[in-house]
Amino acid sequence: MSNRILQAENVKKSYVADSLVTEVLKGVSLSVDEGEFVAIVGESGSGKSTLLYLLAGIDKPTEGSVTLLGRNLASVSDEDMAAMRRREISFVYQFDNLVPHLTAYENIVLPLVLDKRKEKDYRDSVSEVCDFLGISARLNNLPKQLSGGEQQRVALARALVTSPKIIFLDEPTGSLDKERGTQVMELLKKINEERKVALLMVTHSAAHSAYASRIITIEDGLIKK
């Protein structure tokens, strides 16, 4: 139990639209340990992205509880959640991860700037992360001047510079071609192995889920046993 960083208990989520209740998640329980690489797979509409949002504290469950880094998310304030995102967890979307009017470097250091950290304190570590991800030459470019793969690597760099304990990834290769998708997956594997960062990744690609140490399959709002 000591190395468990995420615990979800009987998480349910439903939406109401035009008096019609749609139950997306019907009671999901799972856990993630420190340094683990977990892939959540499932068909479109199975509820995997919704589950990721709930586990990352971006959305709230209708029922059930989520405990992240020892804190029950139901009782974590907006301010504390924001602080967690600046220091302990990161999130990477499928695309549009970057602020369009900021350069790649400004995007990468954004959580550090928001955390009021001094540049001299993080300059070296950011440089090391950028070298690690192979984007050091593109730091002064705006997102629109970068390729899709480069943009995704910048997003990963931003996710890494805070030295998080866990990174949530929502189909991080979904907008990339096969070759670049594989490159990103190799990077993620490297991040997980070398930096001991837990990864929780949603994907619909069986090939990419194979990089994970554990695979959770969601089907019709439930974990398939």
Partner 1 sequence: MIFNLALKNLKVKPWRTVATIAVIALAVAMFFCMFSFGDAVYEYIYAVETSAAGSSHLLIKGRSNEDKLAFVDPLYSLEDVEYVCPSLSLYALAKRADGESEYVQMRGFDRDKLQLLQTIEAADGNVDDLVANEDNVAVSEAMAERFGLKVGSRFEVSSLAGGGKSVGFIVAVIAESDGYFLSDAPYCVIGTVDGGVDRLVGGLPVYNEIYIRAADGKSTDELAAEIAAMPEYANLTVDVSADTGYVKTRADGISAPVTVSGVAVAVLCVAGIVLIFALGIADKRAYASKLTVAGATKAQLLGIFLTESAIIAFIGAAVGALLAGGVFVLLLKAVLSSTLTFSVNGLLLFGASVAGFAVALAASLYPLLKVFGSSVRENLDSVQKPAKSGVVFAVALAAVTLVLLLVENLVPGAMGVLSVVNMILLLALGGAVVPFAVRGAAKVAGRSSSPALKVASYSVVRERRASRTSQTLVVGLMVVMLLFVSWSLTTSIFGDYTKEFENMILVTNVSSDVNLDEFEATQGVNSAYFTVWRQADISFAGGKQSTTNIIGSDGAQALGLMAFEYVTPEADVRNILESAEGDSIVLDYSVHELNGVSVGDGVVLKVGGDEREFTVGGFVRHNFFNGNYVLVSQRLLAEKFALSPDTVILVADSDAESVAEAVRSAFSDRNYYAVPAIEAYKWDVQSIDSVFNLVGTLAFVLTALVFVTALAGVTVGRSLSERTRGTLLCAGLSKSALLASETAEHAVSVLTAFVLAFLLSLPAALCLVNALRLFGLYFGFMYNFWVAVTAGLSVSALYVAVPYVFGFRKRYGMMRR
Q: Of 36 and 170, which CB lies nearer to partner 1 in the complex structure? A: 170
State the nearest-atom distance from the C-beta of 208 to partner 1, in Å.
Answer: 19
Find the binding residues for partner 1 in span 171-200 (CB under 8 A): none
> Given the rule CB under 8 A, which of 79-87, 122-130, 185-193, 199-207 is the region that contacts partner 1?
79-87
Using CB under 8 A, count the residues that bind partner 1: 32
Q: Would strands 63-68 and 71-72 be described as parallel, antiparallel, or unpaired? A: antiparallel
Q: 198-203 and 4-17 as β-strands: parallel, antiparallel, unpaired?
A: unpaired
**How many whole angstroms separate alpha carbon 144 and alpha carbon 42?**
31
Structure letter (DSSP) for residue 84: H
Length of the chain equals: 225
Which amino acid type is present at position 45? G
Give the C-alpha separation, 205 to 220, whole Å.
Answer: 18
Tokens at 27, concatenated? 């009671």
> Of 81 and 215, which has the nearer Cβ to partner 1?
81
Query: Does 78 sit near partner 1 (CB under 8 A)?
Result: yes
**Alpha carbons 19 and 15: distance in angstroms, whole number:** 10
Binding of partner 1 at residue 162 (CB under 8 A)?
Answer: yes
Find the shortest distance in angstroms from Cβ 128 to partner 1: 19
CB of 168 to partner 1, least distance (A): 10
Least Cα distance to 161 among 200, 132, 137, 194 occurs for: 132
Instruction: Return the sign of the alpha-carbon dihedral for residues 49, 53, 59, 63.
Output: positive
Tell me how far, at minimum, the Cβ of 82 lies from partner 1, in Å: 3
Under rule CB under 8 A, residue 81 binds partner 1? yes
Distance CA 209, CA 200 (A): 11
Q: Is 95 in contact with 175 (CB distance < 8 Å)?
A: yes
By CB under 8 A, residue 60 contacts partner 1: no
Q: Which of 25, 30, 48, 53 is the binder for partner 1 (CB under 8 A)?
A: 53
Q: Applying CB under 8 A, does 120 fall inside the site for partner 1?
A: no
Shortest gap between Cβ of 88 and partner 1 (angstroms)? Answer: 10
Secondary structure letter of residue 220 according to DSSP: T
Q: Comparing C-alpha atoms, which of 183, 184, 212, 200 is closest to residue 58?
A: 200
Q: Of the two residues 7 and 94, which places its CB atom closer to partner 1 in the complex?
A: 94
What is the nearest approach in angstroms of partner 1 to the Cβ of residue 123? 17
Is 48 or 85 the residue whose CB approaches partner 1 more closely? Answer: 85
- Interface positions with partner 1 (CB under 8 A): 53, 58-59, 78-79, 81-83, 85-87, 91, 93-94, 96-102, 106, 110-111, 113-116, 144, 158, 162, 170
